[in-house]
Structure 1
Amino acid sequence: MRPGAVSAGRPLPKTPPPFGEVFTDHMVSAFWSADEGWHGAVLEPYGPLTVSPSTVALHYGQSVFEGFKAYRRDPDRAALFRPWEHARRMADSARRMAMPPLPPEFFVAAARALVRQDMDWVPDGDDEALYLRPVAFATDSHLALRPGLSYRFVLMAFPTANFFGAARRAVTVAVCEDFVRAVPGGTGAAKCGGNYAGAYLAQEEATRRGADQVVWLDAAERRWVEELGGMNLFFVHGTGDRAELVTPPLTGTILPGVTRDTLIRLARDRGLTVREAPVSVEEWRQNCASGRITEVFACGTAARVTPVGRVLAGDGGWTVGDGSPGPVAGTLADALSAVHRGTAPDPHHWCHLVTR
């Protein structure tokens, strides 16, 4: 990693600003060409990029991105959480979009370099972290309908708090019946920009109805629950030691969440049963009415573990449990936070320390 010019730094915010609005002092850039592959990696001051109006990515969306976090351990150390898994997922997304995958070892080295340089930006609050956003995109200046022949990688970071504001409040979700997020054989399992822009209209409608997030259904039958906007879902059947977690299977239309995988392992470590099985909207409604489903929660890097308290569907809706955060979600959220902060053992070796 070649060091470039180093910024003198700016005053740090006392509390994390709104999600993704204030960035740290530096970024990492690299380039790809057929002759050199990925090359020219440099740590440099955060700043604007110069691109041509005919840049391929602007017109045809040939771009992929990731999102992962670093958590404060002490004044001179922070822990990257599962950076290798995020690196591998970004490589998978790139292949799906006909892009050259970034080598995972380069991805992790870039993250370590940026966190080390901007260590002072890593917040230390319980619900706070440094969010890292890598993006790669085609930079060719032409409008031919073919994959790019040149690419750029940029890694930036920003301090963030809980995505939904007040920690662990139960959110309201709205089932989307007019649009779909992904279809079999499409790009649902890739983290590419178009998947998110295509969700904006549905999210605006959900917000108008008083919901925090959209529930996406399958494209074929509009019956099976897939995921929330940017988050995977878990349904809790029963209570206590006999509680069972059910999450929709990864069938190619759902993003394979790193937090999803983490919670499955944490739950099984605690003796809970976890099943991957389809869940229909009607099952969700009926099992909440009967009390069989006692909790529902979503998970993702930005929102971590987010309880679902109310579901809007059609002209009505239903409440999950008593509408408040449940104990299973709370237990898993605490367990996840303890691993992030280093106050619990890390037997899976998920955390990678970066020292100033």
Structure 2
Amino acid sequence: MKIDVQLTTARKQKPASDQLVFGKTFTDHMFIMDYTAGTGWHDARIVPYQPITLDPASTVFHYGQTVFEGLKAYMTKDEQILLFRPEKNMQRMNRSNDRLCMPHIDEEFALEGLKQLITIERDWIPTAEGTSLYIRPFIIATEPYLGVSPSKRYQFIIILSPVGAYYKEGINPVKIAVENQYVRAAVGGTGNAKTAGNYAGSLKAQEVAEAAGYSQVLWLDGKEKQYIEEVGSMNIFFKINGEVVTPALNGSILEGVTRSSIIELLQHWNIPVTERRISIEELYQAYKEGLLEEAFGTGTAAVISPVGELFWNGEKLIINDGKTGELSTKLYDTLTGIQTGKVEDPFGWTVRVLENRVSI
């Protein structure tokens, strides 16, 4: 399939690197591809960034048929563009598509469209420390039909946003409240798909936590509300008595690309790492016995987010004296070093965007 390109005639002003706020600024162009039942995906194109027009009866508005991904592009010191394990995001998007009864994309073609878009938007990639070009691919159901059934029409869109740090705290520890009332997802639901409803349903707990002075919530399982699942929109890791533990994938936990990379890094360093079910009671006992050494969330946006405090049952659990742990720092420095080309990549995770420059 050919990708048609229409370049903008009105380029936007780029913000200064120190003024970047996550997800607020968008580049000059976007990638779009349409799907029609019986035809498949068609009309791939790169066009000026613009509003999209949808029928008010479009399925996405009424039944939430939508999935999305998040990844980043980085500019190296020698001005090469790197992506980090982008094939994993395309694979996960198709797993999400499957769960939401949406058509699979051609992963290689979608990645080629992304590379062409990034090539055009090269000058939007910030180069200051801690900055990157955030990439948001998403699919929406566009058929105007109010019947409860899978849509017969879709759009696949990729937009780009230059970003700074996701959390204003940066690599410094955040305070997290353990969520006892609301539930993010349940086994058999859509927790292992990256779909909008999961995030909409999490906003109330987030709002309550923020009002109490906490950055995010620690989610427990939807059935017994005993077993730890995720932290905010990230996967969670704990270092307990020298061993790193993360909740096992159980059907309600999203399989993060950063999560997988952290596990592989720890194994590469011969640091014990286990994927298993872990309860909040077990974590509390480890804390009381002085065995809870570190805790950190992992995700594309923040990479590593150390946890300095957990609030549970009216008690504040201060982890590592509220400071960033040695392992959290090493993981952050190594992973971001690989992503930006500053550290050797022994895993072959980074993908270089070979450019055919388009003048605009």
Taking structure 2 as the reference length, what is the TM-score of the superposition? 0.95
- The answer on whether the counterparts of 1:298 and 1:307 sit within 8 Å (CA) in structure 2 is yes
Q: What secondary structure, in the 3-state scheme, does the structure 2 residue paired with 1:29 have? A: strand
Residue of structure 1 aligned with 2:15, choices 5, 13, 16: 13
Residue of structure 2 aligned with 1:101, choices 99, 104, 108: 104
Corresponding residue of 1:313: 312
Corresponding residue of 1:325: 324
- 1:80-136 superposed Cα distances (whole Å, 9 cap, x missing partner): 111100000001001100000111112211210111010111111221110000110
Residue of structure 1 aligned with 2:46, choices 30, 43, 47: 43
Q: Distance in 1 between matches of 2:274 and 2:120?
A: 42
Q: Distance in 2 between matches of 1:176 and 1:114?
A: 40
- The answer on whether the counterparts of 2:76 and 2:342 sit within 8 Å (CA) in structure 1 is no
Q: Distance in 2 between matches of 1:5 and 1:40?
A: 16
What amino acid maps onto 2:207 in structure 1? E
Q: What secondary structure, in the 3-state scheme, does the structure 2 residue paired with 1:322 have? A: helix
Corresponding residue of 2:203: 200
Q: Distance in 2 between matches of 1:86 and 1:140?
A: 25
- 1:318-356 superposed Cα distances (whole Å, 9 cap, x missing partner): 111211100000011111011011122222211111234
- 1:21-61 superposed Cα distances (whole Å, 9 cap, x missing partner): 11001000000112221111101100100011111101110
Q: Distance in 2 between matches of 1:65 and 1:7?
A: 29
What amino acid maps onto 1:132 in structure 2? I
Q: What secondary structure, in the 3-state scheme, does the structure 2 residue paired with 1:254 have? A: coil
Q: What secondary structure, in the 3-state scheme, does the structure 1 residue paired with 2:194 have? A: coil
Matches within 5 A, 1:230-241: 230-238=233-241
- 1:155-183 superposed Cα distances (whole Å, 9 cap, x missing partner): 00101111112431100001111111111
Corresponding residue of 2:76: 73
C-alpha RMSD of the superposition? 1.2
Matched, 1:55 2:58: yes
Corresponding residue of 1:27: 30
Taking structure 1 as the reference length, what is the TM-score of the superposition? 0.96
- The answer on whether the counterparts of 2:31 and 2:46 sit within 8 Å (CA) in structure 1 is yes
Corresponding residue of 1:90: 93
What amino acid maps onto 1:54 in structure 2? A
Listed as ranges, the gaps of 5+ residues in structure 2 are none
Q: Distance in 2 between matches of 1:208 and 1:79?
A: 38
Corresponding residue of 2:268: 269
Q: What secondary structure, in the 3-state scheme, does the structure 1 residue paired with 2:12 have? A: coil
Aligned positions, number:
352
What amino acid maps onto 2:249 in structure 1? L
Cα offset, 1:7, TM superposition:
4.2
Corresponding residue of 1:171: 174
Relative to 1, partners in 2 of residues 1:93 and 1:300: Cα closer, same or farther, differing over 3 Å?
A: same
Q: Distance in 1 between matches of 2:329 and 2:54?
A: 45
Q: Distance in 1 between matches of 2:117 and 2:313?
A: 46
What amino acid maps onto 1:80 in structure 2? L
- The answer on whether the counterparts of 2:75 and 2:132 sit within 8 Å (CA) in structure 1 is yes
Q: Distance in 2 between matches of 1:156 and 1:341?
A: 21
Cα offset, 1:76, TM superposition:
4.2
- 1:181-204 superposed Cα distances (whole Å, 9 cap, x missing partner): 111111000000000000000100
- The answer on whether the counterparts of 1:288 and 1:321 sit within 8 Å (CA) in structure 2 is no
Identity %: 38
Matched, 1:218 2:221: yes
- The answer on whether the counterparts of 1:7 and 1:26 sit within 8 Å (CA) in structure 2 is no
Q: What secondary structure, in the 3-state scheme, does the structure 1 residue paired with 2:320 have? A: coil
Corresponding residue of 1:346: 345
Relative to 1, partners in 2 of residues 1:192 and 1:87: Cα closer, same or farther, differing over 3 Å?
A: same
- 1:134-153 superposed Cα distances (whole Å, 9 cap, x missing partner): 11011001101110001001
Q: What secondary structure, in the 3-state scheme, does the structure 2 residue paired with 1:220 have? A: coil
- Further displaced range: 2-11 or 136-145: 2-11
Q: Distance in 2 between matches of 1:75 and 1:320?
A: 39
- The answer on whether the counterparts of 1:232 and 1:300 sit within 8 Å (CA) in structure 2 is yes
Corresponding residue of 2:130: 127
Q: Distance in 2 between matches of 1:53 and 1:75?
A: 47
- The answer on whether the counterparts of 1:24 and 1:118 sit within 8 Å (CA) in structure 2 is yes
Q: What secondary structure, in the 3-state scheme, does the structure 2 residue paired with 1:27 have? A: strand
Corresponding residue of 2:296: 297
- The answer on whether the counterparts of 2:68 and 2:138 sit within 8 Å (CA) in structure 1 is yes
What amino acid maps onto 1:294 in structure 2? E
Q: Distance in 1 between matches of 2:328 and 2:315?
A: 25
- The answer on whether the counterparts of 1:268 and 1:274 sit within 8 Å (CA) in structure 2 is yes
Matched, 1:155 2:158: yes
